Amino acid sequence: MITKKITVIPGDGIGPEVTSSAIRVLDEVASSCGCRFEYQEVPAGGVAIDTCGKALPEETLEAAKASDAVLLGAVGGPKWDGLSGDNRPEAALLGLRKGLGLYANLRLAVLFPQLKDASPLKNELVENGVDIMIVRELTGGIYFGERGLAPSDGTLENGTAKGLEAFDVERYSEAEIDRILKVGFTLAMQRKKNLIVVDKANILETSRLWRKRTAEISKEYPEVSVEFMYVDNASMQLLRRPSSMDVIVTSNMFGDILSDEAGMITGSIGMLPSASLGDPGKPGMYEPVHGSAPDIAGKDMANPLATILSCAMMLRSSLGLPEAADKVEQAVRNVLAAGYRTADIAQGSEEVLGTKAMTEKVLKELRKL
Ligand code: IPM
Ligand code: MG
């Protein structure tokens, strides 16, 4: 029997609820495909600050490294908002990304046909569907560059003393750019063969290097049509013609921003999964795009579907079980088609379920497949 090791990081807020739903789904899948999943639950984020004194304990990173895949709920919450940068729960995310070498973040923004009225965009803009894969570089750029804060001796043009001065550096090497571009091109090949490289090449040197490397790498993927788009324009085009977009590949910060915008377009951030991947064969990390939602934590109100769909990505990309992944996605579609909703995606007439009841519906559909 195939046994796979999954590190589970429930984290904060609704994280524990949605990860325990997802584990039930994984177990159901395991029993039907003759494999076994071993889970090791470890702390990270706010809960780790409270119990171990730091957001990312060494044991957590070690457990993650030694597993086949990592399932993460969410980290953060108002309780830890007063802490400074490196001591915040979010530092755990950056540490896991860097520590596991997860340089490619895949965020899908899909408008489920059953939920198309949930999009805040006019119907005519989304009637052809939305299915955008955002590939965000995740371990480089300004989020990991040199940073500092120091008093400045200088003055403004009018003589006002500058006072404190802070800086954050955006730096990308050719090797870092090439490997993320290849992820983008590969995904484009598996999809509609359209790749948009988002940058700010009219200003930034890093962006100009991204463009140069794109020209080079694209020779290996002659079937993929490439478009360059400035990030400000991309944020508009996402609202104007989301249906025509296929794969977007971009830097860490631009991807952070655009993936939230794209998620909003679908109107159901509670539905969106993500995968963070490193080199092939290394453990990937899978998490819902939504955050820790402290306001509804512990109330059995959270939508577990984003985490369940993240498990589908895990089954496909890290566990080598693509049929199981298809089944999970089909089960989620069937549940939506049957009219079941959690509060965040309910429109009126449908039956609103809590986290546990929604999970039961998915399990029931899975057993039928
Ligand atoms: C995300 C989040 C994180 C990021 C924060 C919490 C550090 O916004 O995963 O998009 O910016 O990467
Ligand atoms: Mg973000």
Residue ranges of the chain with per-residue pLDDT less than 70: none
For residue 93, give the ligand nearest its CA. 1
Residue 249 domain-assigned (yes or no): no
**What pLDDT is attached to residue 116?**
83
Displacement of CA 125 from its chain's centroid (Å): 24
Is residue 49 within 8 Å of 92, Cβ to Cβ?
no
Q: What is the pLDDT of residue 70?
A: 98
Distance of CA 144 to the CA centre of its chain: 18
* pLDDT on residue 353: 97
The answer to whether 200 is a known catalytic residue is: yes
Q: Is residue 34 part of a domain?
A: yes
Listed in sequence order, the residues at least 6 apart from 186 whose beta carbon sits closer than 8 Å to its beta carbon are none
Domain assignment present for 174: no
Question: Is residue 164 situated within a structural domain?
Answer: no
CA of 257 to the centre of ligand 2 (A): 6
Q: Which atom of ligand 1 is nearest to the CA of 274?
A: 9
Residue 209 counted as domain residue: no
pLDDT at 117: 85
CA–CA gap between residue 179 and residue 104 (Å, rounded): 9
Distance from Cα 96 to the centre of ligand 1, integer Å: 12
Cα 211-212-216 angle, rounded to 5 deg: 115
| Tokens found for residue 150 | 């120091």
What is the structure's pLDDT at 84? 85
Q: Is residue 3 in a domain?
A: yes
Domain count across the chain: 1
Residue range of the domain that includes 67: 1-102+303-369
pLDDT reported for residue 1: 85
**5 backbone dihedrals φ, ψ, rounded to 5°:** -100, 125
Neighbours of 164 (CB within 10 A): 8
Provide the pLDDT for residue 46.
98
The dihedral formed by the CA atoms of 261, 264, 269 and 271, expressed in degrees to the nearest 10: -100
Q: Is residue 225 part of a domain?
A: no
pLDDT at 58: 97
**Gap between the terminal Cα atoms of the chain:** 21
What does the pLDDT look like over 258-301, one tens digit per residue?
A: 999 999 999 888 999 999 999 999 999 999 999 999 999 999 99
Q: Is 354 within a domain?
A: yes
Ligand 1 pocket, 102 CB below 6 A? no
pTM of the predicted model as reported, rounded to 2 decimal places:
0.94
* pLDDT value at residue 331: 97
Alpha-carbon distance values, 235 to 146, 182, 292 (Å): 27, 23, 25
Q: Which of 12, 83, 86, 93 to mutate to test the pocket of ligand 1 (most atoms within 8 A of CB)?
A: 93
CATH no. for residue 86?
3.40.718.10
